[in-house]
A and B are shown apart, each in its own frame.
Chain A
Amino acid sequence: MLSYALRTLIRMVLTFFVIVTIVFFATRLSGNAVDFVIGEGMTTEDRDLLIKYYELDRPIWSQYLAFLRAFTDGQFGLSFIERRPVSEMVLERIWPSTQLLLSAVGLTVLVSIPLGIAAAIWRKSWIGSAVMVVAFLGYAVPNFVLAIVMVLLFSYWLNWLPVVGNGTALHFIMPTVALAGVLIAALTRFTRNAMLDVLGQDFMRTARAKGLPENAVILRHGLRNAGITILSVIGLQVAGLAASGSVVIEAIFAWPGIGDLLVSSALRRDYPVLQFGVLTVALAVIVINAAVDLAYAWADPRLRHTVKG
């Protein structure tokens, strides 16, 4: 287990290092970053000053080393536009994003797992088909369309819910549902398939044969065995989908999270913020993936010993 954990950790660090390198070179190769923000009317002297300030006149390898050094001393530079440290701008937005993510994933789990189990048990009846049609629609409706339809309905027409910000519990409702929509579709399908796999196993027949009531068979033997797969799907796929989705949802609802910051930075071409924000989210996703991987290996010893990585 320990060597497996170590290997996971090394892979994690390597992946992050590759991403850092790609992000660095992608920004530098695309031209002089200063030109992104230079407006009309800026003199050549101003431009030279900016280039000197951001040390863009040094050779690229020395810039790369300086970029890497930031990870040890925490000096990631200033935003082009707000003139504040990018680390401060990004870090203060982590908590709102986490809140939104947790509530969306929580809602997803509460809705999808019962639905998925129902769809698996009553696969052949109309219940199973109905659940799958809903899951299909959830897949096809883009989250931003779901979001603006809700805004139109609940904010403009019915005047029940606030649109912008994250001040109260009411503010959570629409962003959470909009973000959870596609996650629910995805997780319901996964849960159904995982349950279907388990339902066909021999030990399920044994459990029934020894006279256990159907509920106990499904919960104690079915769900517990499908549970590991479902948990890993939540960690690996659902977390990734949520991270992608929250970018849009936060931008729509002006949610003060990282997604909103990334979109506005991309639109304003504030690349120091964008760079640091992308790296932060990438790191978070890598850490979550590794944690899920380890939890999975801990729960299922067979995995540790098979070829992995």
Chain B
Amino acid sequence: MMNPAVPAPSAPAAALQLWRSADAIQKAAIVIGLSLVLLAVLAPIVAPFDPNSQSLIARLRPPLGFERAKAGHLLGTDELGRDVFSRSLFGLRLTLMLAGLGATLGLLIGGTLGLLAGIVGGRTEASIMAAVDTQIAVPFTLVALFLLAILGSSIEVIVLVLGLAGWEQYARIVRGEVRRLMKLPFIEAARAAGAAPLRIAHRHLLPNIVSPLVVQFTLALSNIVLLESTLSFLGLGVQPPTATLGSMVGIGRDYMPTAPWIVAAPAMMILLVTFAVQILGDWLRDGADVRLRAR
């Protein structure tokens, strides 16, 4: 259901307007981000090889254009003769998928708790905010190490861990916004008209906190990509032979002196992802923050 109070320009027109407002670096970030997503989605079609099929006679071949390169292997092959380009594409796909799921889970957990804290108040609010403070007090990499060690590195656990990274930011933002909004006359009016708390949350609060949440989601996404890559790099993420960008860098590290290309492609992709997402997040934040726009 659309909120009738918000004028809705047609989607393509809005996108065009956004594109025009971006500067050169931001446009580059948009193009890079979209192409990466496209590559990830189309990985099964674009990838020339099965990412896990090994070939012992084609091990550690350099990218095309170098001596000893093997035809067809654009970015060379790894220590088991697997195609680096195909593995990078599938790694990118899995990394983006995990990060997307994790960020969404964090948004759901944090958003719900923040909404609850802001609307109910009292003891509920105090204990939720105490949990937020506790989470902030502990460096999250430690929490992640601990959880993965005791729960094992299945996909479900990894998504859970990534979801727990950053939920507290959403909770803080939502609670703050809700408390601000609850004081405004239109909420008072809704309550006086007899609207139930759930209806107030759904109809009046959520539409008003969408934009800070979108911004936070984007910023969280790059952190989560980094966290997932770090954990995979350490060998605590998705287990081999399945490739994620981080685990490719982690395993390829052992072959770096002789075969740096194994690491180069996935490392470059991680960099592009985080770079694009960060720029986009900042751009959205500046766009959403009226005070910054005036500067």
Q: List chain A positions with a Cβ less than 8 A from chain B.
A: 14-15, 18-19, 22-23, 26-27, 30, 33, 36, 133, 136-137, 139-145, 148-149, 151-152, 156, 240-241, 243-245, 247-248, 251, 262-263, 265-267, 269, 271, 274-275, 278, 281-282, 285-286, 289
Q: Of all chain B residues, which has the CB nearest A258?
A: B142
Q: Which one of A141, A156, A262 lies within 8 Å of B256 (CB-CB)?
A: A156
Q: Of all chain A residues, which has the CB nearest B267?
A: A145
- The docked-state distance in angstroms from the alpha carbon of A136 to that of B133 is 28
Q: List chain B positions with a Cβ less than 8 A from chain A.
A: 25, 130, 133-134, 137-143, 145-151, 222, 226, 229-230, 233-236, 249-250, 253, 256-257, 260, 263, 267, 270-271, 274-275, 278-279
Q: How far is the CB of A251 from chain B (nearest CB, A)?
A: 6
Dominant secondary structure of chain B at its interface with chain A: helix
Is the beta-carbon distance between B230 and A142 smaller than 8 angstroms? yes
Contacts A26-B150, A137-B275 given; indicate if A145 touches B249 (C-beta within 8 A): yes
Q: How far is the CB of B264 from chain A (nearest CB, A)?
A: 9
Q: Which one of B151, B222, B263, B271 lies within 8 Å of A30 (CB-CB)?
A: B151
Query: Which residues of the partner chain B approach A281 to less than 8 Å between Cβ atoms?
Result: 138-139, 142
Is the beta-carbon distance between B230 and A248 smaller than 8 angstroms? yes
Given A148-B249, A269-B149; 13 other pairs, CB 8 A cutoff:
A36-B150, A142-B229, A143-B230, A148-B267, A152-B260, A156-B257, A240-B139, A241-B139, A244-B142, A248-B233, A267-B149, A267-B235, A274-B146
Q: How far is the CB of B294 from chain A (nearest CB, A)?
A: 13
Is the beta-carbon distance between B137 and A278 smaller than 8 angstroms? no
Q: How far is the CB of A222 from chain B (nearest CB, A)?
A: 18
Is the beta-carbon distance between A19 and B138 smaller than 8 angstroms? yes
Is the beta-carbon distance between B149 and A274 smaller than 8 angstroms? yes
Is the beta-carbon distance between A282 and B142 smaller than 8 angstroms? yes
Is the beta-carbon distance between B274 and A139 smaller than 8 angstroms? yes
Q: Of all chain A residues, which has the CB nearest B151?
A: A30
Q: How far is the CB of B224 from chain A (nearest CB, A)?
A: 12
Contacts A142-B229, A144-B230 given; indicate if A244 touches B134 (C-beta within 8 A): no
Is the beta-carbon distance between A139 and B278 smaller than 8 angstroms? yes
Q: Which one of B140, B142, B149, B253 lies within 8 Å of A148 (CB-CB)?
A: B253
Is the beta-carbon distance between B233 and A144 smaller than 8 angstroms? yes
9 contacts between A and B (CB under 8 A): A136-B275, A144-B249, A266-B234, A267-B236, A269-B149, A271-B149, A281-B139, A282-B137, A285-B138
Q: Which one of B25, B140, B149 lies within 8 Å of A265 (CB-CB)?
A: B149
Q: How far is the CB of B204 from chain A (nearest CB, A)?
A: 27
Contacts A142-B230, A144-B233, A148-B253 given; indicate if A30 touches B150 (C-beta within 8 A): yes
Q: Of all chain B residues, which has the CB nearest A309?
A: B133
Q: How far is the CB of A233 from chain B (nearest CB, A)?
A: 14
- The docked-state distance in angstroms from the alpha carbon of A183 to that of B139 is 14
Query: Which residues of the partner chain A approach B267 to less than 8 Å between Cβ atoms?
Result: 145, 148-149
Q: Of all chain A residues, which has the CB nearest B257?
A: A156
Is the beta-carbon distance between B145 and A266 smaller than 8 angstroms? yes
Query: Which residues of the partner chain B approach A148 to less than 8 Å between Cβ atoms?
Result: 249, 253, 256, 263, 267
Query: Which residues of the partner chain A approach B150 to less than 8 Å between Cβ atoms?
Result: 26-27, 30, 33, 36, 269, 271, 274
Is the beta-carbon distance between A263 and B263 smaller than 8 angstroms? no
Contacts A282-B137, A289-B137 given; indicate if A151 touches B229 (C-beta within 8 A): no
Q: How far is the CB of B24 from chain A (nearest CB, A)?
A: 12
Is the beta-carbon distance between B256 and A151 smaller than 8 angstroms? yes
Query: Which residues of the partner chain A approach B253 to less than 8 Å between Cβ atoms?
Result: 148
- The docked-state distance in angstroms from the alpha carbon of A137 to that of B276 is 11
Q: How far is the CB of B172 from chain A (nearest CB, A)?
A: 15
- The docked-state distance in angstroms from the alpha carbon of A140 to that of B279 is 10
